[in-house]
Structure 1
């Protein structure tokens, strides 16, 4: 529940458009809802501007089902990351509006249309193998009301492909750069733009890539100013941070 929604609720109680008891019922779970196996933070949107996101990794299908069932009562948009198709099928049984973004591994339920920003976020992928992490970032950003331009397979091994899309990249308010292998693309983009760059190392690569550690260290050691780095394969974290910057 957002601050505006709380104000509207209290105004309705004051004008006797809804009863006092109905107002209490709406507010009683505001701090959090204890489901036994999970405590859903209903206060988060009021604190930080975005409702709680469901991380499905390590959760059972039944736990995801019950969390989403409760969150639906709050009438917020719902984003569930690292979700399996089996989880989606279970959710679809009771929510026909549920969408599954297979590449991003995201279940999304849009209960209200966000107000989209005029500026946009560019999501840039070094290779096709990085697209799943890119889509996690892109879908996250779009869910929070951002326009997203996707620019895929423009890694440094064929850098002319990047230059062909440079106008679109430079037009963004913030740029997410996703790369595995040695993670060089973030430094290259960082040296070509005057916008903040959020680098996402991926676990794509051969043995010495160490499941993304090599790309992570390369990005952390970037000589290009203005490059910040999120964790390995953390497309959600990049999309969330980019949304906060884009909507300032």
Structure 2
């Protein structure tokens, strides 16, 4: 009897994974913000399935690992969906760090690394990471940095005409909380950086991508499909709102 009661209590006490996604208006634009508690939520990065084939879609990932409380594209990738820069999965480096400047948003230095450790996560500027790599269980490199030590990327212009749907991640100083954001309308880099710095109050934030930005957040009824993705970041766990068999748009 006592053993049965202990089992029931364990079920009751077990935390339910949730990314606490919400809508947020900031400076005339609308965003979806998902907050992840690194000491409570199982946050991981994914790229390929067991056969080495890119996972590509949130629905495919969910069929492989079970319900997802949250998922988002997590970095830039080549046409064959290999990561452009550093990628670490389960402590194994799958792609190397890139420190040189290059074309496109990724090469607009400074860029950075999102690193998931045990119970914490951090965004690090790439050269800072290279000088003293932390023990990342998972990591993805992308660029540009949005916020570096509380300052916006030096190349962001307030009057820029370059607008896009954008997604990114920022982390708190103690590493316990990660904020993932995706814009609901096209925004500039300057506006997106200010969201993290001034709207969410973080000193380190990293751009993940633009045109292909996608979000899986069952608790608010969002299940994006579409383009095949490269790296994916997800909170894995029991999420009753997730409906595995619900069709989504995609190809």
TM-score between both structures, scaled by the size of structure 1: 0.26
Higher relative contact order (CA 8 A, sep 6+): 2
TM-score between both structures, scaled by the size of structure 2: 0.26
Q: Select the structure that is richer in strand.
A: 2
Q: Select the structure that is richer in helix.
A: 1
